[in-house]
Structure 1
Amino acid sequence: MSQNNDKNIVLRIEDKPKLGQGILLSIQHLFAMFGATVLVPALTGMNPSIALISSGLGTLAFILITRGKVPSYLGSSFAFINPIIALKVLEADPASGIQTGSFLVGSFLVGLVYALVALIIAKAGTNWLMKLLPPIVVGPVIMVIGLGLASTAIGMVTNNPKGEYDLTYVTIGFVTLLITIITAIFSKGFLSVIPVLVGIVGGYIFSIFMGVVNLQPVLDANWFQIPDFTVPFIDYSPFISWYVILLMVPVAIVPIAEHIGHQLVLSKVVNKDLIKDPGLDRSMLGDGIATMIAACIGGPPNTTYGENIGVLAITRAFSIYVFLGAAFFAIIFGFCGKISVLLSTIPGPVMGGVSILLFGIIASSGLRMLVENKVDFKIKRNLIISSVILIIGIGGAAIHIGKMFSLEGMALASIVGVMLNLILPGREEVSFDDMFNEE
């Protein structure tokens, strides 16, 4: 580490901040992840309070496993929104054969996949991952995630709870979107890192003036309230089916690639090689354990958050104690009844408005990965792989064999993309540094 970089650092990873400074920095990281972490359960019908608690517990587990050497916060993953929605719809239909809690079983299995990948990395290094997950596969799969959710965002903006077109909802949705865009483009400093949260707050206030928010439940709620956790063997009997495995597990390709990218970027921000110390295997294992913890209490799968890396780059305060504080605050917020009820009163068009931008950014980040890694579409091999992934994923292609075996949508697209990359001739060797040269 250079002396100049040393001088620019406000707090090193191992430094303990002063109490007041630590509290403010922790709350800042909490706000950075808050909007996106709460949005995922809001879209999937899960409990936002449990998502906050599971993100806090997951972050604590991550810090423990990485021996306090990786300043990261873990929040809800966007990659699993569509699979979770699909499984919850099937759970509500007795004829489907999909049992209650299947989406949580699937989330737990995803965590096990992370742990397995971590074990293989510890034994065999990282080169094998690059062969499975080059930019030509991961880029289009990420695009499928964003584009596949487009109709969900538009539906939330245009339709009222009765499923009817509502101009009031459209107005709220686009005002929320406008606030989010203005904040992202024109704000500076910390505000530029939390445009989603600013958009949700602004859209919520506008919704109150439009008369679509009832604040009485918030006033009536208790300050302390235990959320309705969903615990295996108590609230449901875990049941593993091929359908759940094939719908959830292949999607792990995306957050695994995302995790590696975040660790490389974070290494550059803190000027330490976190891939070697504490090691990619430990950080990947921490991600997996966090996801398994979330699944055991009814929360969505977790992933490391780029928003919080952005805050680190701005503040230059890398202290791991700040992330410990953010995790504890998230858990406290999750047990606050008024906050829980407040989150439940956020109108659909507000979440839909920010989702238009967020889902579009997800799709664009897949395109960005292809551009930054200079993927040449004059090469037929690349053109074929990306084209097949996009059409299978967005078109909702499916393979059904009997009642127990089904592979569809993004999961099918991911598997087909990996297979085509391995089978088709002309595969180029690419390093992770090339793939994630800029975040």
Structure 2
Amino acid sequence: IGLILSSSAIANASTNWLVAVVAIAVIIVANIWGRGMVKIIPILLGVLVSYLLAVALGEVDFSGVAAAPWVGLPVAFENTVFALSSNFDAGLAITAVITIMPLALATMIEHIGDISAISSTVNRNFIAEPGLHRTLLGDGLATILASLFGAPANTTYGENTGVLALTKVFDPRVIRIAAVFAICFSFCPKFAAVIEAMPACVIGGVSLVLYGMISAVGVRNLVENKVDFMKSRNVLVAALILVLSIGIAYSTTGAIVFAVGGITISLSGLAVGSLAGIVLNAVLPGKDEYSFGGEAPERADEPEMRFPLEGELPKEVKEA
């Protein structure tokens, strides 16, 4: 996910590299050398400082902020499902459902990947408790509710894994408090306009750090779970996941497109790579059997790879 999104971060940052680099620098300084609250909110500080710099450089257009009212509804009735009731077309509705349903596969796979990464980051097995069935159900119900009011799909975001890894704040109550603030601010169009006025270079600078953290957490998952890359089957699985996911994402079409019963279905590189990895890991022999977050078993059938210390080297090797 992090590698696929990296091009978006570079494209946004390239609109003004000075602002983007300042955002990255502030995040690094706050996270490494910050104390107290400063160390907890490096992302927010990076956004604020780079946003102010962009304002000083004349990169921000506040005309939309001035025109926006202070109080208003976060939805427009004409964009909701309820507005379609007066001109309902059953055939069109069924076609839309059949077309959009396969897209849920990609978001489900992303959800599982993000929950796994977050579990590893906070050292808690969220797949077991509260359970993947509950987190997926909550994700789905939230998307259903949002779609009724014309909002985009709700899904887990890999950026959150990066934020957790940076801030080390793992208390779910923080998310609940943030949700309450988000709901309150949604009734303030002027606040929304301030967010919309944020230039792409600010988002790009912050995204470079967050997307990189996603990739780094993925590598850390492999290391912590002792995935043995001396095994050809593990190398093949990882190689195909990377090549399919990234290759398809950066191909001319950007997806695998095929037709089923007159319906065109498009699967992203992330969906194809994840499915290929799951299937190959299940069918190829030599699978490592251990629970999520647990320790890999001892492999009695494989010799331990051990490198001697300098003092243990033979004399002729030292001389050579």
TM category (shorter chain) comes to: 0.7 to 0.9
| 1:369–1:435 contact (8 Å) kept in structure 2 | no
| 2:245–2:269 contact (8 Å) kept in structure 1 | yes
Q: Structure 1 residue 206 and structure 2 residue 53: aligned?
A: yes
Structure 1 residue 324: deviation in Å?
5.2
Structure 1 residue 435: deviation in Å?
7.7
Choose the corresponding residue for 2:152, options 278, 294, 299: 299
| 2:256–2:267 contact (8 Å) kept in structure 1 | yes
| 2:21–2:205 contact (8 Å) kept in structure 1 | yes
The one-letter code matched in structure 2 to 1:183 is: A
| 2:68–2:193 contact (8 Å) kept in structure 1 | yes
Give the equivalent residue in structure 2 for 1:63.
none
Structure 1 stretches of 5 or more lacking a match? 1-144, 160-168
Which SS does the other structure have where 2:293 is aligned? Answer: helix
Structure 1 residue 299: deviation in Å?
3.3
Structure 1 residue 265: deviation in Å?
7.2
Distance 1:234 1:434, change over 3 A: farther
Structure 2 stretches of 5 or more lacking a match? 297-320
Q: How does 1:217-296 map to 2 (within 5 A)?
A: 217-229=64-76, 230-232=79-81, 234=83, 238=93, 239-242=96-99, 244-259=100-115, 262=118, 281-296=133-148
Which SS does the other structure have where 1:405 is aligned? Answer: strand
Moved more, 248-257 or 374-383: 248-257
Q: Structure 1 residue 331 and structure 2 residue 179: aligned?
A: no
TM-score by length of 2: 0.73
Q: Structure 1 residue 193 and structure 2 residue 46: aligned?
A: no
> How high is the sequence identity, in percent, across the aligned residues?
33
Structure 1 residue 383: deviation in Å?
0.2
Distance 1:349 1:190, change over 3 A: same
Give the equivalent residue in structure 1 for 2:288.
428
Q: How does 1:303-318 map to 2 (within 5 A)?
A: 303=156, 307=163, 310-312=168-170
Distance 1:326 1:347, change over 3 A: closer
Q: 1: CA distance between counterparts of 2:273 and 2:137?
A: 26
Structure 1 residue 364: deviation in Å?
1.3
Q: 1: CA distance between counterparts of 2:176 and 2:271?
A: 34
Choose the corresponding residue for 1:181, options 28, 32, 38: 28
Structure 1 residue 312: deviation in Å?
4.8
Structure 1 residue 349: deviation in Å?
0.6
Note the aligned Cα RMSD (angstroms).
3.2
The one-letter code matched in structure 1 to 2:269 is: G
Structure 1 residue 279: deviation in Å?
5.7
Structure 1 residue 350: deviation in Å?
0.6
Distance 1:152 1:325, change over 3 A: closer
| 2:120–2:221 contact (8 Å) kept in structure 1 | no
Larger radius of gyration: 2
Q: Structure 1 residue 401 and structure 2 residue 258: aligned?
A: yes
TM-score by length of 1: 0.55
| 1:246–1:411 contact (8 Å) kept in structure 2 | no
Deviation digits for residues 181-208 of structure 1, max 9, x if unmatched?
Answer: 2222222333323222211111110001
Which SS does the other structure have where 2:18 is aligned? Answer: helix
Q: 2: CA distance between counterparts of 1:292 and 1:247?
A: 14
Q: 2: CA distance between counterparts of 1:213 and 1:240?
A: 39
Q: 2: CA distance between counterparts of 1:222 and 1:357?
A: 34
Q: How does 1:21-420 map to 2 (within 5 A)?
A: 145-159=1-15, 169-229=16-76, 230-232=79-81, 234=83, 238=93, 239-242=96-99, 244-259=100-115, 262=118, 281-297=133-149, 298-303=151-156, 307=163, 310-312=168-170, 325-396=177-248, 398-402=255-259, 404-420=264-280
Deviation digits for residues 393-438 of structure 1, max 9, x if unmatched?
Answer: 10116543346134341111111111111111111212123289xx
| 1:157–1:170 contact (8 Å) kept in structure 2 | yes
| 1:267–1:274 contact (8 Å) kept in structure 2 | no
| 1:389–1:417 contact (8 Å) kept in structure 2 | yes
| 2:27–2:43 contact (8 Å) kept in structure 1 | yes
